[in-house]
């Protein structure tokens, strides 16, 4: 046998034993491009981007992502697709999603579109270009439904909570008020966008069948600043609870007007401005007693879930501000690490190989237990050893956010502000 034939056979044998798709150091890419297309002008979008940057910096500082025999750094490409802005049509947002894949060469995506309308339409772009996406803000249950229905959407995952988790958290706050104070008369105020309409309707239907009297509902277009007429209806109805469902910053006006009018109602639900740790100063302390959903509870530091604390300490140190968004940052930070681990297990950047490894994700960490169900959704619930955490906090008289649910991590029970006694 000649020397050349021996060399040839040796080379063939090495190829045969090398895992399919495995990357060796010589063939490794210079970087892994991680796209962040979302509404960067919103608090959720901005801080989710910041959380992604933080995770990437931490990973790159340790050498990057192990892809086969090589260590490869992440690089973030962010793009403001403005889908949460009033008047921006869905097709415009989709152009941004396509741009980050085709022009910015994103190989993977985290965060994703803000609005459910945009992310549902954008799933076809993700499927077309086979670009794995780990969504963290848009919350429509329709996202998982499409994944279950058609395997072409297998590249879509969601680490953030969906609308059903919001509903569960909100209804738990209603039951706390009913069990402790006997309150059952509810008036619902919600933002007129798909996910908030859906959450409000489901809460109305579920709560109405569990002993709550839904006295009325009012919808407000994104950007609305007029709430006084609706609050007068609330007062006339005899409601004991205002249940709000908003992610727009303008709903802060509704909270201010409720307190200015001294309405004898408990305020609960989801109002994005209430989630921020600086809200106490913003509202001059006039929010004591407000109960607010933190749909992804680890977006605030949890005394009774220490696994959440390191992220918040790192975020504060890196950016000089605390996490203020109630949706997005913590799941986004976790998404980058989930993706890193999946790539390393796959030993490849091949999207199908990475998807296969993403589906095997299962560990207990920052969010609680992180794993994907068949709809590629991380389940949220009350036991951090079984699900990611969803819960509620209440503003104390001292201006602190105190976790009141779930019981597994609660710090105190609910109480009524002085004006209701």
Query: In this predicted structure, what is the pLDDT of residue 337?
Result: 98
Do residues 340 and 398 share a domain? no
- pLDDT tens, residue by residue, 328-350: 999 999 999 999 999 999 999 99
Decide: residue 309, CB within 10 A, 0-12 exposed, 13-18 middle, 19+ buried. middle
- Tell me whether residue 300 is in a domain: no
- Tell me whether residue 3 is in a domain: no
Q: How confident is the model at residue 27 (pLDDT cuts 50, 70, 90)?
A: low
Do residues 157 and 169 share a domain? no
- pLDDT tens, residue by residue, 169-182: 999 999 999 999 99
pLDDT more than 90, % of the chain: 76
Query: In this predicted structure, what is the pLDDT of residue 19?
Result: 46
Query: In this predicted structure, what is the pLDDT of residue 94?
Result: 96
- Tell me whether residue 1 is in a domain: no
Do residues 205 and 320 share a domain? no
Domain count for the chain, please give it.
2
Q: What is the pTM of this model?
A: 0.88
> Among 83-87, 145-149, 306-310, 370-374, whose mean pLDDT is lowest?
83-87
Do residues 266 and 408 share a domain? yes
Average pLDDT over residues 390-405: 96
Do residues 333 and 398 share a domain? no
- pLDDT tens, residue by residue, 4-22: 444 444 444 443 444 445 5
Average pLDDT over residues 93-110: 97
- Tell me whether residue 139 is in a domain: yes
Query: In this predicted structure, what is the pLDDT of residue 87?
Result: 85
Do residues 234 and 377 share a domain? no
Q: How confident is the model at residue 195 (pLDDT cuts 50, 70, 90)?
A: confident
The three state secondary structure string of the chain is CCHHHHHHHHHHHHHHHCCCCCCCHHHCCCCEEEEEEECCCCHHHHHHHHHHHHHHHHHHHCCCEEECCEEECEEEEEEECCCCCCCCCHHHHHHHHHHHHHCCCCCEEEECCCCHHHHHHHHHHHHHHCCCEEECCCCCCHHHHHHHHCHHHCCEEECCCCHHHHHHHHHHHHHHHHHHHCCCEEEEEEECCHHHHHHHHHHHHHHHCCCCEEEEEEEECCCCCCCHHHHHHHHHHCCCEEEEEECCCCHHHHHHHHHHCCCCCEEEEEEHHHHCCCHHHHCCCCCCCCEEEECCHHHCCCCCCHHHHHHHHHHHHHHCCCCCCCCCHHHHHHHHHHHHHHHHHHCCCCHHHHHHHHCCCEEEECCEEEECCCCCECCEECCCCCCEECEEEEECCCCCEEEEECCCCCCCCCCCCHHHC
- pLDDT tens, residue by residue, 269-327: 998 888 999 999 888 888 899 999 999 999 999 999 999 999 999 999 999 999 999 99
Query: In this predicted structure, what is the pLDDT of residue 391?
Result: 96
Do residues 47 and 153 share a domain? yes
Above 80 in pLDDT, residue 401? yes
Query: In this predicted structure, what is the pLDDT of residue 9?
Result: 42
Query: In this predicted structure, what is the pLDDT of residue 22?
Result: 56
**Considering only CA atoms, which of 273, 285, 298, 287 is closest in space to residue 191?**
273
Highest-scoring range by mean pLDDT, 3-12, 55-64, 188-197, 214-223: 55-64
Query: In this predicted structure, what is the pLDDT of residue 163?
Result: 86
Do residues 403 and 351 share a domain? no
Do residues 151 and 258 share a domain? no
- Tell me whether residue 70 is in a domain: yes
Do residues 226 and 135 share a domain? no
- Tell me whether residue 335 is in a domain: yes
CATH of the domain at 206: 3.40.50.2300
Q: How confident is the model at residue 23 (pLDDT cuts 50, 70, 90)?
A: low
> Among 41-45, 53-57, 247-251, 266-270, whose mean pLDDT is lowest?
247-251
Decide: residue 16, CB within 10 A, 0-12 exposed, 13-18 middle, 19+ buried. exposed
Do residues 122 and 210 share a domain? no
Pairwise pLDDT comparison (154 vs 418), residue with the higher score = 154
- Tell me whether residue 4 is in a domain: no
Q: Cα(278)–Cα(115) distance, rounded to whole angstroms?
A: 25
- Tell me whether residue 15 is in a domain: no
Q: 316 is in which domain, residue-wise? A: 23-161+305-381
Do residues 78 and 135 share a domain? yes
Q: How confident is the model at residue 25 (pLDDT cuts 50, 70, 90)?
A: low
């Amino acid at each position: 046998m000649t020397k050349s034939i021996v060399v040839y056979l040796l080379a063939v044998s090495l190829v045969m034993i090398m895992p399919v798709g495995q990357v060796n150091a010589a063939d490794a890419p210079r970087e892994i491009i991680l796209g962040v297309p979302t509404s960067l002008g919103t608090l959720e979008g901005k801080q989710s981007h910041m959380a992604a940057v933080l995770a990437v910096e931490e990973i790159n500082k340790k050498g990057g992502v192990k892809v086969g025999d090589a260590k490869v750094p992440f690089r973030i490409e962010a793009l403001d697709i403005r889908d949460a802005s009033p008047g921006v049509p869905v097709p415009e947002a989709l152009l941004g999603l396509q741009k980050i894949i085709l022009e910015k060469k994103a190989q993977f995506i985290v965060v994703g579109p803000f609005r459910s309308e945009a992310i549902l339409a954008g799933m076809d772009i993700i499927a077309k270009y086979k670009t794995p996406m780990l969504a963290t803000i848009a919350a429509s249950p329709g996202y998982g439904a499409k994944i279950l229905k058609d395997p072409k959407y297998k590249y879509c995952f969601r680490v953030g909570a969906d609308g059903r988790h919001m509903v569960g958290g909100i209804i738990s706050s209603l039951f706390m008020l009913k069990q402790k104070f006997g309150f059952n008369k509810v008036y619902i105020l919600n933002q007129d966008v798909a996910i908030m309409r859906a959450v409000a309707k489901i809460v109305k239907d579920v709560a109405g069948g569990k002993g709550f009297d839904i006295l009325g509902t009012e919808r407000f277009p994104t950007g609305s600043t007029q709430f006084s007429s609706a609050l007068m209806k609330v007062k006339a109805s005899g409601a004991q609870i205002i249940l709000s469902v908003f992610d727009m910053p303008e709903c802060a006006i509704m909270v201010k007007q409720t307190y200015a009018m001294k309405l004898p109602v408990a305020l609960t639900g989801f109002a994005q401005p209430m989630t921020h740790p600086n809200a106490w100063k913003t509202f001059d302390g006039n929010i004591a007693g407000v109960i607010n959903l933190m749909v992804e509870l680890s977006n605030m530091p949890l005394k009774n879930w220490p696994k959440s604390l390191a992220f918040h300490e790192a975020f504060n140190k890196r950016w000089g501000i605390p996490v203020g968004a109630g949706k997005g940052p913590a799941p986004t930070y976790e998404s980058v690490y989930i993706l890193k681990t999946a790539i390393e297990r796959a030993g490849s950047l091949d999207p199908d190989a990475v998807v296969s490894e993403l589906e095997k994700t299962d560990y207990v960490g920052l969010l609680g237990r992180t794993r994907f169900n068949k709809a590629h959704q991380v389940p949220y619930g009350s036991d951090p050893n079984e699900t990611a955490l969803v819960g509620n906090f209440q503003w104390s008289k001292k201006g602190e956010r105190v976790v009141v649910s779930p019981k597994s991590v609660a710090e105190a029970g609910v109480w009524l502000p002085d004006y209701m006694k």
